[in-house]
A = this chain, B = another copy of it.
Amino acid sequence: MTIKVIIVDDQAMVRAGFAALLSAQSDIDVVGEAPDGREGVEVSRRTHPDVVLMDVRMPEMDGLEAARQLLDPPRGVTHRPKVLMLTTFDVDDYVYEALRAGASGFLLKDAPPADLISAVRVVAAGEALLAPSVTRRLIADFARQRPAPRRDGPALRRSGLTPRETEVLELIARGLSNQEIAESLVLAEQTVKTHIGRVLAKLGLRDRAQAVIFAYESGLVTPGQ
């Protein structure tokens, strides 16, 4: 099964270069191109690519907005491609915007050609990949964001939840589905359900909505970060 790719970039030469590079791979098929975000979205809707290579800076509609539209499609549109953002410059605002929108990767155009090719494969496989400098910032941000360990609310302490159960409860309170919790903790969904069942039983709650309430009321999570 070949990987279908479209290339969205306002510079024709860049498109041609990437297309040539990727088409030379037996497992990659360039099925479309577009010079701006608006057309990029159209081409994507029409060709249903697995991966969209998206330049950040473009006329008409920039790559970020286009990425948002592709990754949060309107009703009726079921196709959701992976989006790999490309940029010439190393600018961090764009990075965060793109990742928030759900992009699967962020590469600089000066990366080695081999990196671009492998990035397409990685992204198509459902994984993600970032330029090293971007990774560094993301990690720094992550480390800064929560160096603080957990503090227990009074209600929590008496609840008799195990550490794992508490962890699951917190993810419920972040709005994750069972499947997402499973992925986040690297567990089978069934295990998550078991944990949740115990949490609900121990706390005398009926469903996850009440679990969210408990999490807020007990201070396990707090409004505003």
List residues of chain A with CB under 8 Å of any chain B CB.
Answer: 90-93, 96, 99-105, 122, 125-130, 132-133, 135-148, 150, 152, 172-177, 183-186, 205-213, 216-217, 219, 222-225
Report A211 CB to chain B, min CB distance, Å: 7
With A184-B137, A224-B152 known to touch, is A132 a contact of B122 (CB < 8 Å)?
Answer: yes
Q: Which residue of B lies closest to A144 (CB)?
A: B174
Q: Tell me whether A186 and B91 are in contact (CB under 8 A).
A: yes
Most chain B beta-carbon contacts within 10 A, residue among A127, A148, A152, A207: A127
B residues near A225, Cβ cutoff 8 Å: 150
25 A-B pairs with CB atoms under 8 Å apart are A90-B186, A96-B142, A99-B139, A99-B143, A100-B142, A100-B143, A102-B143, A104-B136, A125-B132, A127-B132, A128-B139, A129-B135, A130-B135, A140-B184, A144-B176, A150-B224, A172-B209, A174-B213, A175-B209, A177-B206, A209-B209, A209-B211, A212-B212, A216-B223, A219-B223
